Amino acid sequence: MVSTAEASLALFAAAIAYLATPLIARAMRAIGHVRPDVHKPGRPLVPYSGGVALYIAITPSLLLLVLLHPSLLPQTTTLALVATTAFLVGLVDDFKVLGGLTKTALTLLAVLPVVAAHAVWPAQVQLGRPLVPVLGRLRLTIIYWLLLPLAVAGPANVVNMLDVFNGVMPASTLLATLALMISTHVIYSDPQAGILLAPLVGALVGYLPYNKWPARILNGDSGSLLVGAYIGAAALLTHTEFIAMIALMPHILNGALVIGSVRGLKEHRAMEERPVRILPDYRLAASRSLRAPISLTRIILALDGPLSEREVAMRLVGLGAVSSLMALASALLVPRW
């Protein structure tokens, strides 16, 4: 189902990420850019901003993509600009913590390359034509444009909000991206749609071994915002917004729970109460405080805790696998006419 070009591009990105990540980790440790891994005994200091390695892997892969498929220049340029915008916002936040509202407002800027590409290349970058199960291709106007700013900022921020345990962000988004890539084949029978996701798939594959438990590098907002924004932009370019929403459902649910429970957007590092308690044996338990935010992790621990960090991460990735399978099932229901 995956074409040779997609596989080659993904392998290229994976090789770069796999080789670059330990170099970035050493560089970040050398400049003292580390964060305590709070869910482990002794709170070991771990290099931060792994998103730099992801960006280093994705950028040349997009360049290779446009060299292999010049007809995809509009889409590739759009993805590169979206990824760069989200990455820079995240990198600034990694070194100088931004407020929740400020960070969200800045991530809204990541949709501008999509709008600009639609204006310059309207035939290649069409907006307002999402593919939906059973109904097929819709033609949306006013409501689509009103929601468009959230199409990139939304995935970026909800992926960021669930990036709290080793390996969860790259593993769950890898599953979602694979589901989206395969879905484009199912819907279009056209590998050129799916190949736009190959750089991200490869980058996550090469990066995951270093972030999985126990993590040797932490993603930082530069990583989670970059990955979420890329998925959102790719979904817009391939008209698979609905499929992407299903694939990212655990992230969306967690974001909705947190925002609803704290009544707005707040930087998680500034929250007085945490949704999770760390027990003396470093197992995790749900907070008993009524003022603590409600999150997907807190619900999991309330139902099945206390659990170790690794056990929580496995359950979150498992939910990501289920939602990715549901996304594939939804793609099968999209009429192909």
pLDDT, one tens digit per residue, over 92-143 is: 999 998 887 888 899 999 999 999 999 999 999 999 999 999 998 888 888 9
Give the pLDDT confidence of 51-102 residue by residue, as tens digits. Answer: 999 999 999 999 999 999 999 999 999 999 999 999 999 999 999 988 878 8
pLDDT-derived band of residue 290, with 50, 70 and 90 as boundaries? confident
pLDDT at 272: 66
What's the N-to-C CA distance of the chain in angstroms? Answer: 20
Q: What residue ranges do the domains of the chain occupy?
A: 4-268+308-332
pLDDT at 192: 75
| pTM attached to this predicted model | 0.95
In the numeric block, which tokens belong to residue 209? 């071994």
**Cα separation, 240 vs 246, whole angstroms:** 10
For residues 24-46, average pLDDT: 96
